[in-house]
Amino acid sequence: MARPASNRPTELELLILKILWDRSPQPVREIRAALAESGRELAHTSVITTLNVMVRKKYLKRTKDGIAFLFAPRVSREETSQSMLTDVVDRVFDGSPSATVLSLFNASEVDESELKELRRLINRKLRETSE
């Protein structure tokens, strides 16, 4: 049975989005080369198929440039990361931001400068909510 369609980018789709967020628009050959640089050697037809699926999902837009097509993101890094993070918080941590942050602290090393930055962000958020 086929897997149900997801409203979140797959791992490969997210990698392609990251490439295009950094530099776009790009033709298929450039996207394929960037994928290869990141360790994802894929056939040209596989990259085209994935890009076309991403156009149908409205993650990318495609424009004709001579005989080639150029691809560019239709979704921003911010809205994509927000959507994916919201999904993780809801599905894994039952909607609890504090449980999510605690898990992040336990899963990775956080140095003093990052802790200071997190404290600054929390203080700013506190000020915003009390206004």
Residue range 1-46, pLDDT digits in tens = 656 566 789 999 999 999 999 999 999 999 999 999 999 999 999 9
pLDDT band at 130 (very low <50, low <70, confident <90, very high): confident
pLDDT, position 106:
87
**Across all residues in the chain, what is the average pLDDT?**
92
- Same domain for 16 and 64, yes or no, is yes
Rounded to whole angstroms, the Cα distance separating 25 from 17 reads: 11
Does any domain span residue 4?
no
Q: Can you give the residue range of the structural domain that contains 93?
A: 77-130
Query: 87 with 121, same domain?
Result: yes
Contacts 24+ apart (CB under 8 A), 121-127: none
pLDDT of 115 over the 80 cut: yes
Structural domain includes residue 2: no
Same domain, 41 and 91: no
- Return the pLDDT at 37: 96
Would 66 be classed as within a structural domain? yes
